[in-house]
């Protein structure tokens, strides 16, 4: 019985792939469940968002100081159908009108990825639609192309709660990894420091993701220079990142200040804003230092066009204006245009998955009749690694001290 249904679907779906449309008439549903947001969207071939729905779990997980995978799983299961139906209804399309269903298959929390993939498989079977598997980080990298004309190759910096990656994008399906995080991701340490600082006890920050709370608190700083944090990995001439030493250093400083002030319970140190600003600047300096080397490497190897050099910054931490402005500074110095997607599309969402689906659909790339659940995986490298080549190049880069530029 199962084999029979599969072959009927297969025949039908093959027809719809071959007769693919390549214009605004194309409509792709995107489904994202890799972490704590159930995001769905319908996007057309011109990059217009026809319908969108996002069930964010931030307010639930904020109590735990990080994403609780089992709670996230339950919420994805509760919300997936609602979210798909909302996106579809808003689009004025029917599922039967869609060209394909794109769904995040990697990397991410396995049980959460599976919720999205199983639902996408169910819809694909029911409505005879092809499926397009999506790499979550590739989707973050490519979404800016929905808004700007950005031609490949370009450099991408992906900074989020789970990742810190520098890559060269030669084509939408051809990535080369230049640098990666060796320990904690920048969003992760911002979330941890925000929690340890007890920022959620201040009403203004209580419902913000940790990184946003740190950024907002840092705007109120008056004397951040009182805190100094060491720049990580300066001895290593590569483009990798390390944030755990910085996190530990902030924790030690905080403990010292709490002891000095006799802070107990829910109270907060008086220098909280200055500490946030100094911490944020240290993150920005480290990211800028590694990114500058990646830009030089790409230029020296002729991996980017001489006339049209672009860097895209994406992922949740790309919402941070100070970090983005720091990348703009280094981009200007090296002759690169710097772009980021609109804030709500820097963080996880269904639109980026649908858009990546549109780009793959246009190229007739990765369109599947089915997705094997065994291909859904929590860890997935981003393209081919050039990290050893970057190391071998031993490119010296002087640290850019952002304070000098009034950050």
- Residues contributing to the site for ligand KG4 (CB under 6 A): 35, 160-162, 187, 190-191, 209-212, 215, 315-317, 319-320, 347-348
Of residues 34 and 44, the one with the C-beta less far from ligand KG4: 34
Those residues with Cβ within 8 angstroms of residue 20's Cβ, 6 or more apart along the chain or in another chain: 26, 99, 361, 364
Least distance (Å) between residue 117 CB and ligand KG4: 17
Question: In terms of DSSP bridges, do strands 27-32 and 49-56 run parallel, antiparallel, or are they unpaired?
Answer: unpaired
Pick the binder of Zn ion from 348, 350, 371, 382 (CB under 5 A).
348
**Binding partner at 319 among ligand KG4, Zn ion, none, C-beta below 5 to 8 Å by kind:** ligand KG4
- Beta strands 337-339 and 154-159 are unpaired
Nearer to Zn ion by Cβ, of 129 and 163: the residue is 163
Report in angstroms how near the CB of residue 214 gets to ligand KG4 at its nearest: 6
Which residue, 44 or 347, has its beta carbon nearer to ligand KG4? 347
Q: With contact defined as beta carbons under 8 Å apart, do 369 and 37 qualify?
A: no
Task: Tell the smallest beta-carbon distance from residue 244 to ligand KG4 (Å).
Answer: 15
Which string of x and - marks every residue 102-141 that binds Zn ion (by CB under 5 A)?
----------------------------------------
The site partner of 53 among ligand KG4, Zn ion, none (C-beta below 5 to 8 Å per kind) is none
For residue 98, what are the contacts with CB-CB under 8 A and spacing of at least 6? 27, 28, 29, 42, 127, 129
* Strand ranges, E, within 347-394: 384-385
Q: List the single partner that 33 binds among Zn ion, ligand KG4, none, CB under 5 to 8 Å by kind.
A: none
Work out which of 160, 240, 253, 310 binds Zn ion, going by CB under 5 A: 160
For Cα atoms 62, 31, 52, give the angle at the middle one, nearest 5 degrees.
80
CA-CA distances (angstroms) from residue 143 to 129, 254, 379?
23, 38, 21
Of 191, 211, 21, the C-alpha closest to 99 is 21
Closer CB to ligand KG4, residue 316 or residue 331?
Answer: 316
Phi, psi of 301 (to 5 degrees): -90, 5
319 vs 329, beta carbon nearer ligand KG4: 319
Residues that bind Zn ion (CB under 5 A): 160, 348
């Amino acid at each position: 019985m199962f084999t029979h249904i599969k072959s009927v679907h297969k025949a039908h779906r093959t027809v719809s792939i071959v007769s693919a449309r390549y214009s605004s008439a194309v409509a792709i549903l995107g489904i994202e469940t890799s972490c704590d947001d159930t995001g769905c969207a319908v996007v057309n071939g011109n990059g217009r968002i026809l319908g969108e729905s996002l069930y964010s779990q931030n307010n639930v997980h904020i109590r735990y100081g990080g994403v609780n995978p089992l709670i996230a799983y339950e919420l994805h299961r509760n919300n997936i159908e609602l979210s798909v139906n909302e996106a579809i209804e808003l689009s004025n399309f029917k599922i039967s009108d869609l060209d394909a269903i794109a769904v995040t298959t990697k990397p991410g929390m396995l049980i959460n990825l599976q919720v999205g993939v199983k639902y996408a498989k169910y819809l694909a079977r029911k409505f005879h639609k092809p499926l397009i598997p999506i790499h979550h980080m590739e989707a973050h990298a490519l979404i800016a192309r929905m808004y700007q004309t950005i031609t490949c190759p370009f450099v991408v910096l992906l900074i989020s709660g789970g990742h810190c990656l520098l890559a060269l994008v030669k084509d939408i399906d051809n990535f080369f990894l230049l640098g990666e995080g060796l320990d904690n991701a920048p969003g992760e340490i911002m979330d941890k420091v925000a929690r340890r600082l007890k920022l959620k006890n201040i009403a203004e920050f209580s419902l913000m993701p940790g990184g946003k709370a740190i950024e907002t608190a840092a705007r109120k700083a008056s004397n951040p220079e009182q805190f100094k944090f060491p720049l990580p990995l300066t001895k290593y001439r590569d483009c990798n990142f390390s944030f755990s030493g910085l996190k530990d250093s902030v924790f030690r400083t905080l403990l010292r200040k709490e002891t000095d002030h006799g802070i107990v319970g829910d109270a907060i140190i008086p220098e909280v804003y200055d500490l946030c600003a100094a911490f944020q600047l240290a993150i920005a300096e480290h990211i800028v230092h590694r990114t500058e080397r990646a830009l030089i490497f790409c230029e020296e190897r002729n991996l980017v066009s001489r006339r049209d050099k672009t860097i895209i910054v994406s992922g949740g931490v790309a919402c941070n204006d100070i970090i983005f402005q720091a990348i703009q500074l280094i981009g200007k110095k090296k002759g690169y245009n710097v772009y980021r997607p609109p804030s709500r599309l820097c963080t996880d969402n269904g639109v980026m998955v649908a858009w990546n689906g549109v780009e793959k659909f246009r190229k007739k790339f990765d369109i599947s009749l089915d997705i094997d659940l065994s291909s859904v995986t929590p860890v997935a490298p981003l393209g081919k690694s050039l990290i050893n080549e970057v190391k071998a190049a031993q490119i010296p880069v002087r640290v850019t001290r952002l304070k000098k530029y009034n950050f």
